[in-house]
């Protein structure tokens, strides 16, 4: 059986009762269960959407202006809102961080890692409007030639993996 998780929540979102870790079904991890009403609080991954696209012959990356990984490079992206299409989230986050409007095309990959909450969906995209500029949560926006990517300054493992997958499939 899986190791117990760090309990992030103490109270039931339905009735306010205390949550405790409890194995509901053999072979599955412990779940948070309300001691008052029996509500099962299933914790799932948080979905992140990102976009990889090119401008002036190079791949556009943003230098993060927030933690985690402040000052390091990644593709524009962020959390998907409840009820939002993943492609729309990638487009929205790109506009918020870079000032350009993109159209998400095919998925580059879905990246997950043991012990980490986010699942990262990365799309290839194309610019359809706007001008590149560092905006919300971004220190810098830059277009890098494929042979001059800042590999030693990448923010996340998913950044490196998605870039490698993108370059393998793009001309």
Half-sphere exposure of residue 116: CA atoms within 13 angstroms, side-chain side = 13
87 is catalytic: no
Q: Which helix (H) or strand (E) holds 160?
A: helix 157-169
Catalytic residue, from 140, 152, 153, 160: name it: 140
Return the half-sphere exposure (C-beta side, CA atoms, 13 A cut-off) of residue 109.
15
Q: Quick check: 140 and 62 in contact, CB under 8 A?
A: yes
Q: How many CB atoms lie within 10 A of CB 84?
A: 13
Torsional class of 126: left (φ above 0), alpha (ψ -120 to 50), beta (otherwise): beta
| 89 sits in which H/E element | helix 86-98
Per the CB < 8 A criterion, the answer to whether 35 and 17 are in contact is: yes
Structural element, H or E, at residue 122: strand 118-130
Active site residues: 140
């Amino acid at each position: 059986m899986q190791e117990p998780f760090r309990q992030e929540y103490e109270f039931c979102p339905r009735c306010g009762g205390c949550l405790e870790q409890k194995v509901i079904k053999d072979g599955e991890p412990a779940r948070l269960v309300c001691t008052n009403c029996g509500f099962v609080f299933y914790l799932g991954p948080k979905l992140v959407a990102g976009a990889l696209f090119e401008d002036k012959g190079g791949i556009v990356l943003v230098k993060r202006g927030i933690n985690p990984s402040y000052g390091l490079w990644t593709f524009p992206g962020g959390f998907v809102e409840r009820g939002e299409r993943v492609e729309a989230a990638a487009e929205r986050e790109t506009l918020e961080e870079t000032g350009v409007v993109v159209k998400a095309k095919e998925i580059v990959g879905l990246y997950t890692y043991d012990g980490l909450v986010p699942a990262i969906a990365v799309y290839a995209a194309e610019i359809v409007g706007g001008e590149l500029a560092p905006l919300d949560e971004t220190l810098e926006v830059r277009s890098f030639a494929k042979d001059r990517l800042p590999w030693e300054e990448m923010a996340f493992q998913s950044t490196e993996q998605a870039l490698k997958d993108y370059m393998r499939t793009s001309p």
